[in-house]
Structures are given as C-alpha cells and as structure tokens.
Amino acid sequence: MFITLEGPDGSGKTSQLPALKEFLQDAGYEVVLTREPGGTPVGNQIREVLMNLKNVSITPRTEILLFLAARAQHVEELIRPALAAGKIVLCDRFGDSTLAYQGFGHQIDLDTLQMLLDFSTGGLKPDLTLLVDVPVEVGMERKRVNSTEWNRLDAYTLAFHERVRQGYFALAEAEPARWVIIDATKDKDSVQKALQTAVTSRLGGG
C-alpha cells in the first residue's frame, strides 16, 4: 500500500511520520519511510539544488522538471520495488505537492502538469493520501519558530501559500475516496491518533 502525506508548509506532517511508521510496524507491517524531493541518492542531490537559497535564478519550469526528475528516480529505484515486495510505503509529499505548489501556487497549467506528472511516475498513484492541514498563518508561524533554516522554497508570499492550501482542498474534493483531511491545529498526540485511525481503516477495508 502506497500512503502519502501532504500539507502546507509547517503542518507538522514530517514530525508525525516516525511514530506512524512505528505504529504500522507494531501492527506487523513492513514499512518504508521516505520523502520528496529526495528519497534516493540522486533525488537528494536534486533536493540540494532546489533548496539552495543561492539558486534564485531557478525558473518555474526548471523547478518543476527538477521535482519530477527526483520523483522519477524515486518511483523506479525505491517506491515500486518496495510496493512489489508487499511493503507499506509512507511518503512525505508526492505528486499532489506538484499540483498544489506548482499548479495552484505558481499557477502553471494543471493539464500540462498532470501529463508531466504521469510521465514521471509512470502512472503510479497513492492508495491513500493524508492531508495534514493547518491555516497558512499557523503553518508559517510554526516554521519560523521551529526551523533552524529558511530555505528558498519557504520564501514565497502568504498569498502563494494560501493558493497551495486551497489547491489541496480542490484536489481532495476531486478524489474523495483517496484523501483524508486531518485537522493539524490540534495537539501532536491527537493528530497522530487521527492519522493512525485513517490508515487503519484503509488497511482494514483492503
């Protein structure tokens, strides 16, 4: 089963993943925890390029192709083999991040993006996507307080991040069977419980 976590910056999803992995392992599943951009040696090198504050000249098209290049490598090298071996793959961000950030955020044509996305993934789609949602101001404040570094992609405006969040809602509405929206303004333990409940019910339902 392929499970992805999505959400606006500062939603706290990344910090929830180790506990969710442990919960699934305790239930007897083999779990691979990975993230985007990254997840493979080549993907992590591409991540460096994307995050580097010095790379101010990256254009929106270049940015898209770098995210997708990292994803193509990730799918072939790590995700598909793990799924074929019967493991649960838990992935911190995936294709929906491209639609939300580059599509809704940077307002790149969604049909074109979807076509490029399908090429990069070979058509692989998550079985379950957990949207770890917080209002933009809450997310930005959490990032300011908690993160040691401020990367190139954090520097976009509030309006951009608001479009990203609304984009996620639109994606979830378009495919309600795949998405579960988790209210991440609650405390950490409640959010973890909600994630576990969503995953358990999906696993139970086949």
Minimum distance between the CB of residue 97 and ligand TYD, rounded to whole angstroms? 4
3-state percent helix, strand, coil for the chain, nearest multiple of 5: 60, 15, 30
Q: Amino acid identity, residue 61?
A: R
67 binds ligand TYD (CB under 6 A): yes
37 binds ligand TYD (CB under 6 A): yes
Tell me the two tokens of residue 147. 């993160």
Of the residues 36, 126, 179, 199, which one makes contact with ligand TYD according to CB under 6 A:
36
From 17-25, 76-84, 94-102, 195-203, span contacting ligand TYD (CB under 6 A): 94-102
C-beta of 67 vs 88, nearer to ligand TYD: 67
Which residues on neighbouring strands pair with residue 130, listed in sequence order?
A: 5, 180
97 binds ligand TYD (CB under 6 A): yes
C-beta of 1 vs 34, nearer to ligand TYD: 34
Q: State which of positions 124-153 bind ligand TYD (CB under 6 A).
A: 153
DSSP-H helix ranges across 88-157: 95-97, 110-121, 136-146
Would you list which residues are annotated within the binding site?
7-14
In the numeric block, the tokens 């973890």 are attached to 192
Neighbours of 130 (CB within 10 A): 25
Of the residues 93, 136, 168, 198, which one makes contact with ligand TYD according to CB under 6 A:
93
Residue with the closest Cβ to ligand TYD? Answer: 101
Q: What Rg, from alpha-carbon coordinates, does the chain have?
A: 16
Minimum distance between the CB of residue 37 and ligand TYD, rounded to whole angstroms? 5
Neighbours of 19 (CB within 10 A): 15
Alpha-carbon dihedral 191, 197, 202, 206, rounded to 10 degrees: 150
Applying CB under 6 A, which residues contact ligand TYD? 9, 14, 36-37, 67, 92-93, 97-98, 101-102, 153
